[in-house]
Structure 1
């Protein structure tokens, strides 16, 4: 499926538009399912004229923004180098990573870190160990906020404007279990707030469940979420929930103070 197109008329050959818009259109053509693209596919997915794509992509290769080993384009190493400077990765990830590692050691299944990005959750970090789950988004990928544990727990501590924006974007059905009613979703957010963590059972992917906890910044505003995600038979909320809540509290202390908490409590799942 092609990415959400920018207004094709605004990124074409019109001299009034900038080269940055054209470069952005090319970068938007790549995603987890399209990591390498030939010229024809890049033209199709960007919506730009072939001559514009060829000229812009060639310049992006020179700048290191794209790489072209052969006849296919891919994201360049320069963008990877710069990504480490993004605050959500440099500050949030570095503060929270030790607690993600602790949580993985306790749960022994995939753990993730995400932030809200419009109506979606951007996956900032992910630890899978030796049991990868290819149906889950990779780091840098996005998942819908309304039917993911990460998104739900962030929304449970968000303001009404943020919740309304997610509802207005459409509560699409991913599986037969997905909540698509705004009223039911709002009731679930209230329950999550009271409980302290979110439990999502097979709403994003059949056979996969998730328990997620919030991470707050120094102002007390929800900034991110971490989660344990795995096969429904493995992710039991009564066992995983307390560990997730402990990890999210520890991660909040580390992130909100911008320093490492020591010593870190060891997380253990109830037998």
Structure 2
């Protein structure tokens, strides 16, 4: 295993629920020998890739600086953020921006305001594409191979309301283009519903989706859906002018 592979294994040990790790935890989660982990982590600290203010390692500021240059952050996020802010102001609940990453949705941006919803993924976290409104909004405009890969990865129930058959998910995807938005009715978390709409690039390819998420009693698709669709359409135009 080369130096970059070892560094990748160490970086892969961190996620939204493991933001700081002791050396022992880093060894366990990276799968590397203790001496290799210690030596590689020390070099990564010198490079600014890791930080260790005490006894725990965490991601370094240099990686944050580099990640901000990625097109998904610099172009997409900057173009869509004003519309997320408008949508949050109108809906008074959490709004999110997500992109498809394999069979998962990567949450690129999230605005939650003062209403805490710890059950939702933080920015940088992932959620399954098959049972999330963000995922369905993107999959409805994806090619057959992409949809098949998501379905083949499995459809385990996250709640009693999760659609767990390929036929049911495909039926839901088919309805989205005519309606203009996707819906998750307590399929990821009981009591929480989500409405999402797609964001397109200048060539008409769906590159992301934005959503409104909150308590089911306040997030009603028939009421919030048109606003989400309009926000996504405006975000698509703004993103296209930056390309």
TM-score by length of 2: 0.98
How far 1:234 moved relative to its partner?
Answer: 1.0
Structure 2's unaligned 5+ residue stretches are none
Is 2:74 the partner of 1:90? yes
1:100 deviation in Å? 0.5
Corresponding position of 2:242: 258
Question: Structure 1 residue 258: deviation in Å?
Answer: 1.3
Aligned to 1:42: 26
Q: CA deviation at 1:173?
A: 1.2
Question: Which of 193, 203, 214 is matched with 1:219 structurally?
Answer: 203
Indicate the structure (1 or 2) with the bigger Cα radius of gyration. 1
Whole-angstrom distance in 1 between the partners of 2:34 and 2:60 = 21
> Residue 224 of structure 1: CA displacement?
0.2
Q: Provide the residue aligned with 2:15 in structure 1.
A: 31
How far residue 246 of structure 1 moved from its aligned partner, in angstroms, is: 0.6
Distance 1:33 1:125 in 2: 17
User: 2: CA distance between counterparts of 1:127 and 1:71?
Assistant: 31
Residue of structure 2 in register with 1:11 after alignment: none
Q: Which residue of 2 aligns with 1:99?
A: 83
1:232 maps to 2:219: no
Q: Which residue of 1 aligns with 2:97?
A: 113
Q: Give the counterpart of 1:55 among 32, 35, 39.
A: 39
Mark the runs of 5 or more structure 1 residues left unpaired by the alignment: 1-16, 260-271
Matches within 5 A, 1:1-271: 17-258=1-242
1:132, CA displacement in angstroms?
2.4
Aligned partner of residue 21 in structure 2, secondary structure: strand
- SS of alignment partner, residue 206 of structure 1: coil
- Partners of 2:82 and 2:241 lie apart in 1 by 15
The equivalent residue for 1:8 is: none
CA drift at 1:193: 1.8
Matched residues in 2 for 1:77 and 1:190: separation?
Answer: 43
Q: Could you say what secondary structure the match of 1:193 adopts?
A: helix
What is the deviation of 1:257?
A: 1.8
C-alpha distance in structure 1 between counterparts of 2:70 and 2:211, whole Å = 22
Give me the TM-score of the superposition, normalised by structure 1. 0.88
Query: SS state of the match for residue 119, structure 2?
Result: coil
Residue by residue over 1:119-171, the C-alpha shift from the partner in whole angstroms, topping out at 9 and shown as x without a partner, is 00000001011112111111111100001110011000111010001011111
Give the alignment's Cα RMSD to 1 decimal: 0.8
Task: Give the paired residue count.
Answer: 243
